[in-house]
Structure 1
Amino acid sequence: MSHKASINIIFSNQVVVTRQPDWPQIFSGEKITLTCEIQGGENTEWMCVWRHLGSIIPQISSKQFTFTVSELSSGDYQCQCKRRDDSYSSTKWSEAIRLSVSASKPRARLTADSSILPAGGSVTLTCSVDHSADWKFNWFRDGSVYPAAQLRNNNEPGGVIRVSQGGLYRCRGGRGEPVFYTEDSHDVTIEETLSMKPTVVLQPSWTLIYRGETITARCEIQEGGGTQWTYEWRPTRLNRPPSSREHRISRVTDSGDYSCRGRRDEFYLTQWSDVVSVTVSEDEAKATLTAGSSIIPAGGSVTLTCSLKIPAGFTYELIRLTLPENNFYEAHSGPAAQLDSDIQR
């Protein structure tokens, strides 16, 4: 009696492995489906075997293979199929399809086109995930989900929104079914500029002072009654804790341009005030008095001239003095030039 011999028939049908979703980069924890496509055998019932890195995957016999990937899932996959009613015929092994699985969970990246929101304006935020696709994004402001109604009103592509409120923003990406989420992005702070504008007030209102004199620069916010403000100054050397509404100016090194703004809570700022320039002279103020004559003729007068050596454009004021026997000086103010007063008898 002869021995039995098995004859296996290899079909010429081309076999291709496809994957869904077809993402170039996948991450540990995501779910994908591999499908063994047999060209010309669409109406045939097939039983398929799968192998990963050359080893047969047990307990899988269908054309579709759905699984949650891990770092160990990286590598080449192939399939081979047989007719369900004919165990002696099979296709060739498919060409390999390669999976690249990243072990680390990706972190969404949030960027802003500006960290300062102008009064009445908006800032554009962009959320992205590097080297991957098909993400939908969730947005958060100050720890709460950003309102969906505001997202629908944004005529921007996916991953981009325009915001018109200050706050602490972050985002995350999600894709697949069930949804696989990225790590939350790092927070981005958006500071909102309010319409109000403070004023730097000098007390006394001198913009030129001399050695030994002191004035105070104060930041006044007229529309902010009852609001707890902290203050920022230019030059920035004034911004030493604690925040101060006032600064004393008395040293030569205090000369410069002063402006201020107010901060309310963490994210709201006034506009910068107009600049006020202050000069502190290293000299003491010294007046020089000259007389047109040292003798007053009977019924006549003598002209006295008092002058100060100060920069052009500044003004000064002379005080009125009443002298014995009704002699007096008439006070005037004006440009830094000679101011004349007549002494009369």
Structure 2
Amino acid sequence: MELIHYCLIALVTLANAQFEEPTAAPVLANITLSKGDIQVFSGEDLMTTCSVPEDRSSSWRYKWFRDGAEIGLDGFREIRIELSGEYSCQAEKDTEKRPFVLRTLPSLPLNLRVDRGWVLLQTPATPAIIDDTVILMCRIRNNPVAREVCFYKDASEIQCHKSKLLILTNVMLEDGGIYWCRASWMQGNELHSAQSVPTPVTVLDKLNTPQLAIVSGQIVLGQEVHLRCNTQLNVKGEGLHIEYYYMKNNSWLAPSSSSNTYTIRNVQHQDAGTYTCKAKVRILDVERWSNSLELKVH
């Protein structure tokens, strides 16, 4: 009977395993535009491409999503205003081993904006980083020759000329904001003028200012306390990593660490005080200090 019992357990386990949900491959699908731009006029054509960077094989199948709902298209002819939204894709393929179907993680979103007007401002698809060069283009529907193009940031005029491009070099955080443009052009014997919809331009620091926070709840004598130094490195590159330093009452607590968490194992009254942390990236020669955090022990 005991042998039969173990056999039944094995059969049930095997049967359940047959219906296990396929697990995700540890890679991200990548969605790109092979034709068009993320900011387009209604009536223009677009073509999206989904790929798996770590595996270029042709056995992948692709799914497409808009605002989280699955759709069946990877391209658009004469795109309409209502097709604006957040697009992503996911890849899957059959395998000979369990779980028999391998799925990637969904791609990062691609935000598509369809403009029904006569003038639109094309901005970078991703946030700029300090010291980057940012190129803004003031497009006119059907691409006539511009007579004059003026660029604005918030409520201030930046420049007016005949070029449809505004090039911002070595951008700083203060270069972020709301941009728009106004263009004029001749059509037949008539002068036309229109302005774009205001569009945000984001500039990020290379390393975000850290925020020091207490992970634990109420700080009670003898409890383990975790202080977390939350930041983000916005620059990608080989060998880049963040070093963390912690201070209490302006005195260093420990050598640099690769961990963003400082732990007090058995908190005592003498651990009360003002804490700060510093995040540093040596290769970039960048460091940022956090806020001050008051730790009280009850």
Does the alignment reach a TM-score above 0.5?
no
TM-score (norm 2): 0.37
TM-score (norm 1): 0.32
- Which has the greater radius of gyration? 1
